[in-house]
Amino acid sequence: MPYSILLVDDESAVREGIRSRTPWERYNFSVIGEAGNGIEALELVEELHPDVVITDIRMPYLDGMELIQEIRIAHPATT
């Protein structure tokens, strides 16, 4: 079973580029969701329980560093 990834960036073109230009399946990963800001990302982490979150640092509402802190508290198994 592949590891699941959540992509988080406020620019949809960046998310699309990361998703489409990386051969995720070759490395046993699967992109299961995308979020445009940290608040959306927290909701998706609660819903999808991804193994890995790849996040931008500068985003509106909740930046990447704050997002990481929240995930570490609520979902310590997520990296």
Helices (H), 2-76: 12-21, 38-48, 64-74
Longest dimension (CA), the chain: 34
Is residue 54 predicted with pLDDT exceeding 90?
yes
Delineate the domains of the chain, giving CATH numbers in brackets.
Answer: 3-74 (3.40.50.2300)
Q: Are 62 and 37 in contact (CB under 8 A)?
A: yes
Is residue 79 predicted with pLDDT exceeding 90?
no
pLDDT tens track for 10-49 = 999 999 999 999 999 999 999 999 999 999 999 999 999 9
Please give the Cα distance from 24 to 48 (Å, whole number). 18
* 3 state DSSP class of 73: helix
**Which pTM value belongs to this model?**
0.93
